[in-house]
Amino acid sequence: MIRRNKLSMPANIILLVCFAVVGIIFMLPLLWMLFSSLKTEAAIMGAPGVFFPDDYTLENFHILLTQIPFFRFLVNSFIFAGGVTLSSLLLDSLAGYAFAKLKFKGSSVCFLIVLISMMIPFQITMIPLYLFMNKMHVINTFAGLILPRLTNAFGIYFMRQSFLSVPNDLIDAGRIDGLSEFGIFFRIIIPVVVSSLSTLAVFHFMYNWNDFLWPMLMTSSQNMQTLPVGLALFQGEHTMQHGPMFAGAVLSILPILIIFLCAQKTFIKGIALSGIKG
Amino acid sequence: MKNRTLSSRYKRAGALMALPSMAVISLFIIIPIIYSLYMSLHDWNIMYNIKDFIGFDNYKEVFSDDRFWNALKNTVIYTVAYVPILVIASLLLAAFINEKFIGSGFFKSLFFIPAITSMAIIAIIFRFLLDGDIGYVSIMLRRMGFNVPDFLRDPSTAMGAVVLTSAWRWIGFYMVIFLSGFNSIPDSLYEAAEIDGAGKLRQFFSISIPLLMPTISFALITNLINSFQVFDPVYVMTKGGPMFSTEVLVYYVYYMGFNVFDMGYASSMAFILFVIILLFTLLQLKGFTKSETEGEYA
């Protein structure tokens, strides 16, 4: 399957040089952010045409961590994205398994409902959803953030597809051994679909980690905001200082970037799912 | 006899496994979408505690609301600019990366990096980057002799800036989608074309493009749908301004719902948006059922 490199040496070098130029231009926003975060406020405002800092300083990071509850945002993001991911992996795969292997009375109607709800964008339901959450008094709580995302229609569909390719013999073997259906699911089936689960885990985690509109609607105080919401609202209200914002952007991208560089394959697969889901 | 009780046991287990998910989906997606239709038929303001049934008055008002038509127009402008830029740029990048030159793997990862970051954070960076006073891009362009405006404060350029920001975030992502499309094209086709003396350009247009058509149409329709839901970069970069030049539909829905608290009116606009997106989705569904039978999607 691997296509060997059939290009001539000059063609290789020309492409490499072209991509180096395009790559640098493409990365300019992130590089500029990184170097600006290490500049003094005076340098950012006074000499904005200078790309690299004259003297490097960590002052912006210090201001960021003392003026904004940055760690609080980070923890909130982890609880929100992590909570959604854990619960969704469990419920998505349970339902997906039922739709693939344990068809019950009305399961085709239920699956149709799942497919339909996959096509409904969140932006359409956000107003009634907000009112509903308001009525249940869970606005500005983790419960409010996580509840609507306990399961995910796309995740159910995706897991169903994975379970369809699991041979029925495995299930029968479990039944002969006297395992309950849940026992079969957790002890025999789940280990077979671990790679699908890890792809879905990356998808859920990244989607919610990066999400903006829902956590913005759901949170009303700074100590409940997630990273993107906290930083975006802070920059909207306080436009005077730029340095700490650069520092915040750097610190919020860094953890995900490190994980990405360690597990690129799972990452690219998991995030590619979000293109299907939209 | 024994068989029947067994199979009913399996069915019960299946129903039990699907139950929590069905409850969540009904409660947080199905009921809200029906409820939003119900709300749209009311004068519903949570600020003044108003909830009066008014039939289709909200819809009538929406259709004579200049600001709604402006938001729809801006959404269409965003879509018409964003979708082709994104699809063509990511397809071209994928075509070159697919040549597997030295270092192509590195560039694949590099272009993908924005796709792992939050659109809101990207929008913050680009807001600074395009700023007329401290933005590196504006300053460099001026230094090169271009008389550039303050991009985000000029109604004629603000939408372009938002489009480019979104495109930058998603290019690497669709490049990866297209690369997996390229991967499914057998090498033998290119080898045969080479023997016939077809150049790279000819191969691209005569082999790659036709065989990538399913992936291309997937990318087009998905982004058509996504464009109509755009919110994050608009909210962070321009808040719909200057002079409403970047106010898109979702932003106007958000504004009416959560700033003016006229939730009935906002719901009627949300429902109109739903109908528009539903039409696009039906397009996608056609490709979806087709790929379902072929056992492959994207």
Q: Is residue A33 located within the same domain as residue A169?
A: no
pLDDT over 50 at B294, yes or no: no
pLDDT of residue B288: 59
What's residue B3's pLDDT?
Answer: 58
pLDDT attached to residue A217:
94
| Same domain, yes or no: A205 and A244 | yes
**Does B268 have pLDDT greater than 80?**
yes
Looking at the structure, tell me whether residues A159 and A242 fall in a common domain.
yes
Q: Does B22 contact A206 at a Cβ distance shorter than 8 Å?
A: no
When pLDDT is cut at 50, 70 and 90, the band that residue B249 belongs to is very high
ipTM of the shown complex: 0.89
b/e burial code for range A203-239 (CB count within 10 A of at least 16 → b): bbbbbbbbbbbbbbbbbeeeebbbbbbbbbbbbeeee
Distance CA B26, CA A110 (A): 10
Residue B44, SS3 per DSSP? strand
Chain A with chain B: Cβ pairs closer than 8 A: 278
Q: Say which residue, B82 or B218, is predicted with more confidence.
A: B82
DSSP state for residue B52 in the 8-state scheme: E
For residues A52 and A129, state if they share a domain: no
Region B55-75: what's the mean pLDDT?
94
Closest-CA distance, B58 to chain A, in angstroms, reads: 15
pLDDT level of residue A212 (50, 70, 90 thresholds): very high
% of chain B surpassing 90 pLDDT: 63
Q: What is the pLDDT of residues B151-180, one digit of tens each?
A: 999 999 999 999 999 999 999 999 999 998
Q: Which among B48, B29, B58 has a CA at the least distance from the CA of B267? A: B58
The answer to whether residue A3 sits within a structural domain is no
Residue A2, in any domain of the structure: no
Residue extents of the structural domains in chain B: 2-40, 59-294
Q: Does A131 touch chain B (CB under 8 A)?
A: yes
pLDDT in tens, A111-122: 999 999 988 989
Residue A46 shares a structural domain with residue A141? no
Q: How close does chain A come to B245, measured CA to CA in Å?
A: 19
Asked whether residue A1 is domain-assigned, the answer is: no
Residues 54 through 83 of chain A touching chain B, CB cutoff 8 Å: none
Cα dist. B294→B87, B108, B283 in Å? 24, 28, 17
Contact criterion met (CB < 8 Å) for A128 and B36: yes
Contact B274 A231 (CB under 8 A): no
Domain of A27, in residue numbers: 9-60
Q: How high is the pLDDT of residue A276?
A: 58
Whole-number pLDDT of residue B180 = 87
The two structure tokens encoding residue A3: 């296509």
A100, A160 in Cβ contact below 8 A? yes
Residue A131 lies in a domain: yes
Band the pLDDT of A267: cuts 50, 70, 90.
confident
Domain count, chain A: 2
What pLDDT does A240 receive?
A: 62
User: In the prediction, which pLDDT does A277 show?
Assistant: 53
Fold classified for B59-294: MetI-like fold (1.10.3720)
**Phi and psi (nearest 5°) for A39?**
-95, 160
Q: Under a CB-based contact definition with an 8 Å cutoff, are residues A222 and A72 in contact?
A: yes
Q: A58 to chain B nearest CA, in Å?
A: 19
- For residue B16, name the pLDDT band (cuts at 50, 70, 90): very high
Average pLDDT over residues B213-230: 91
Strand partners, B44: B51
Q: Which residue has the higher pLDDT, A236 or A26?
A: A26
Is A21 found in the same domain as A145? no
Residue pLDDT, tens place only, A69-82: 999 999 999 999 99
Q: Compute the mean pLDDT over every residue in chain B, rounded to the nearest whole number.
A: 89
Residue type, B230: V
Q: Which residues of B touch A27 (CB under 8 A)?
A: 110, 113
Which positions ≥6 away from A89 have C-beta within 8 Å?
A155, A197, A200, A201, A204
Q: CA-CA distance, A267 to B219, in Å (whole number)?
A: 20
Kindly report, residue by residue over B87-141, the tens digit of the pLDDT. 999 999 999 999 888 888 899 999 999 998 999 999 999 999 998 888 999 999 9
Measure in Å the smallest separation between the Cα of B276 and chain A Cα atoms.
Answer: 11
Amino acid at B255: Y
Residue B154 identity (one-letter amino acid): D
pLDDT value for A216: 95
CATH number at residue A194: 1.10.3720.10
- Nearest C-alpha neighbor of A19 from the set B167, B103, B180: B103
pLDDT at residue number B187: 86
Q: Do residues A41 and A112 share a domain? A: no
Chain B residues whose CB is inside 8 A of the A275 CB are 173-174, 177, 219, 222, 298
Q: Do B133 and A27 touch (CB under 8 A)?
A: no
Q: What is the pLDDT of residues A161-208, one digit of tens each?
A: 999 989 999 999 999 999 999 999 999 999 999 989 998 998 899 999
Smallest CA–CA distance, residue B156 to chain A, in Å, is 22
**Which residue in B61, B21, B26 sits closest to B43, CA to CA?**
B61
Residue A3 has pLDDT above 60, yes or no: no
Indicate the pLDDT class of residue B25, thresholds 50, 70 and 90.
very high
Query: What SS3 state is found at B144?
Result: coil
Average pLDDT over residues B252-281: 93
Instruction: Judge whether residue B82 has pLDDT over 90.
Output: yes
Residue B298 has pLDDT above 80, yes or no: no
Do A47 and A110 fall within a single domain? no
| Mean per-residue pLDDT of chain A | 89
Residues 215-254 on A with a CB inside 8 Å of B are 217, 227-229, 231-232, 235-236, 242, 245-246, 249, 252-253
User: In this structure, are A228 and A173 located in the same domain?
Assistant: yes
Let me know whether A131 and A24 are in one domain: no
- A262 plus A125 within the same structural domain: yes
Say yes or no for a CB contact (<8 Å) between A123 and B273: yes
Is the pLDDT assigned to residue A2 strictly greater than 70? no
Is there a domain that residue A4 lies in? Answer: no
